[in-house]
Structure 1
Amino acid sequence: MFDIIQFIFLQLTKNIPIKPLDDLLSEGTLTVNIISPVLRSFFHDSTFHPTIWPNTASMSAKARKLANLDPSRAKQPDMVGNITNNNKSVFEVMYGEITGEGKNNNIRKNTLDLIRIGVFMKDALDDIIKKTGRCCVIFGWQTIAWTGYMMVLTAPGIYIMFEVGQAELPRSFRTCGQFIDCIDSLFMFAEKYKHEIRKIYSYINQEKEDSAKLVSWCRSTLGTPQFRKLIDK
């Protein structure tokens, strides 16, 4: 734990000012200077579970569109957490959405991003169930202020997405105290994330179970014109 905190602050010494800037930070600036350096320290392993930034098309969304003969472009989350096997990405287990501090930081935009995260997580969960025959937990987060989410499939057609913690990412050294006060939420989220990755690796190395019952629990991703128009904005 101490090593991670030390590494984070070594990076932040070069990336954040002593006092908060009066200027609003764009999504790109937030990602490069604050969000990526902090969150990569918790979630990134370049060999086994890399985090990909930014705007990488979701493999799970692509697979769903191909299965449904949907020619439209797959949506692109701001961050994707992959699992690799034999030097190839095989599953997606985490998604992130980022909003800058400008005019786009409003309730409508943040709500749409949360819906997008839920759709990505649902597609990823279906993909793992169909390929391994087993269920797992999928992860998501949203920031300006970091909020973590998990999703599970508990019964036929019942996908539950729930909030598991919040953390205030530092924009200056004057606000680092708030970050330290809630850093335990990030550590707990990261530990659960790594635990699920180990479980999925064990699934990969085992023979696929008869998954007919579990697959029957999955439902088609919402695809009405009204819903598609909502998440495409």
Structure 2
Amino acid sequence: MNQEHWLTTSHWVMLGLLFGFAIAHSGLAALRPWGEKWLGARLYRVGFALVSIPFAVILIVYFFNHRYDGLQLWQVQAQQGVFSLVWILSAISFLFLYPATFNLLEIAAIEKPQVHLYETGIMRVTRHPQMVGQVIWCIAHTLWLGTSFTLVTSIGLVAHHLFAVWHGDRRLQSRYGEAFTEAKERTSVIPFLAIIQGRQTLKWQEFLRPAYVGVAGFTYLLWWAHPWLMQVTAQVNF
């Protein structure tokens, strides 16, 4: 692509989509106490999902279809070991991204959704595993693709998740008060920092639960279906 015209419209569209998703997702999270009071926990969770999931799907499809837009900043796909490194990092990112919420029945609103103050498993490693997982995912995919569009997308995603760190702590502080202050002292945002400083202890047996097995299976399924997903999303004119 001509370097003079590398900043394609898709860069701005992606930033707009990310900004919209951040407002919708974090905004609805902030409104949760009010929404649950007037609508009930289950109905509010359903409404949250009906907004967040379609928005996320649009983001994923748009990213897939425009991932090579813009300037090619580097090209390392042919370098030995890069493919394996990207998949290993991606697998690790999912271990952080998804076990952050253990109760799938609450996510689906089958059981009453609640706000939990978890301090086990991956939460001992970092108090904000979704942020850490997203950063790792962005590093892996930006390394692999090497385009300005991917870099812009990654910067937007990381910025949103860094905001979510502050926003999430603020909501937990408001809900749990002193209990969260004590949990915050025993945990860290930076992975393993609380463990290194002696404020937390890693207990490997806590990782022997269905949530982590499910994430491992999902990661393998995604690896297997990845080429098919690329073909399917390419059919969407978006």
TM over 0.5: no
Q: Which has the higher strand share?
A: 1
Between structure 1 and structure 2, the one with the greater Rg is 2
Greater relative contact order structure (CA < 8 Å, 6+ sep): 2
TM-score normalised by the chain length of structure 1? 0.29
